Amino acid sequence: MAAVGGGVLAGYWGLVTGAMPLDVGVGRRTRPLGPQTVGIQAPREVVFDVIAQPYLGRATRAMREKVRVLERGSDMVLAAHFTPVAGGRLTATTVETVRFTRPEQVSFRLVRGPVPAVVESFQLTQHASGTQLEYRGEMETDGWVLGERWSQLVAARWEETVAASLTSVKEEAERRSQSGSERPGR
C-alpha cells in the first residue's frame, strides 16, 4: 500500500513540477487564458525591449532565477521558466519557445510542462498615452473531467504568474521611459 501511495505522490510531484508531463491526447480539453491587459506609460519599443531582454539580452540577477535560455536564435529562443509552487516547496519548470515580432508581439508555446499544451502571446499596441500590453492564451489538458479540474488549478497559478510579470514589465518600462534610459541594460 505504501508503494501505491508513494507512486501517487511521485506522479503528482512530476506533474506539478513539469518533470513528468502527461500528454496522451485522450479527452483533450481547451480553456482560455486571460485576457489580461495593462496600460503602460512608455513607448511600445521600450515595453518590447523590457519583455525581450531576459531572452535576447543580458538578464538581471533576479530574472536569471526565473528564466534560463537554453537555445537562442535571432527572433526565437528556447527557454526554461522556473516558478515556485506548493508554497515555495517545489519549483515548476516549463520549457517554452519564445518568438519575437518586433515591436508588436511576443509569442510563447509550451514544449514541456504540467499540461500538454499552452500557446500565449503578449500583444503591444501603441496609443497616444503609451502602450497597451494584452496577454491572451489557451491551455490544453487531457483526461476529460479530471484534466479539466487539473487545468483549473494550473491555470490559476499560471495567470497569477503572468499578472506578476505584467506588473514587473510595467514598472520597468515606465522607469526606463521616465529616466530617459530606453536602451536595454541601462
Q: List, for residues 104-154, the tens digit of each pLDDT value.
A: 999 999 999 999 999 999 999 999 999 999 999 999 999 999 999 999 999
Give the residue-averaged pLDDT of 82-97.
89
As given in the structure block, the three cell numbers for residue 64 are: 536569471
pLDDT given at position 18: 67
How confident is residue 186, by pLDDT bands cut at 50, 70 and 90?
A: very low
How far apart are the C-alpha atoms of 157 and 160, rounded to whole Å? 5
Ranges assigned E (strand) in 87-163 = 90-101, 105-112, 117-127, 130-141
Percent of the residues in the chain that have a pLDDT greater than 70, as a whole number: 85
Q: Which pLDDT score is estimated for 157?
A: 92
Band the pLDDT of 185: cuts 50, 70, 90.
very low
Q: What is the pLDDT at residue 12?
A: 61
Query: How open is the CA angle 73-79-84, to the nearest 5 degrees?
Result: 165
How does residue 17 score in pLDDT terms, banded at 50, 70 and 90? Answer: low
Residue 40: its pLDDT value, please? 98
Q: Who has greater pLDDT, 7 or 157?
A: 157
Answer whether residue 71 shows pLDDT above 80: yes
Q: Compute CA 171 distance to the chain's CA centroid, rounded to the nearest angstrom.
A: 18
User: In angstroms, rounded to a whole number, what is the distance separating the alpha carbons of residues 92 and 88?
Assistant: 10
Average of per-residue pLDDT across 68-80? 96
Spatial distance between the Cα atoms of 27 and 116, rounded to a whole number of angstroms: 12
Mean pLDDT value across residues 67-73: 95
Please choose, from the candidates 28, 14, 17, the residue with its C-alpha nearest in 3D space to the C-alpha of residue 138.
Answer: 28
Beta strands in 17-89 (DSSP E): 29-40, 67-72, 76-85
> How many other C-beta atoms are found inside a 10 Å radius of the C-beta of residue 24?
10
pLDDT of amino acid 64: 86
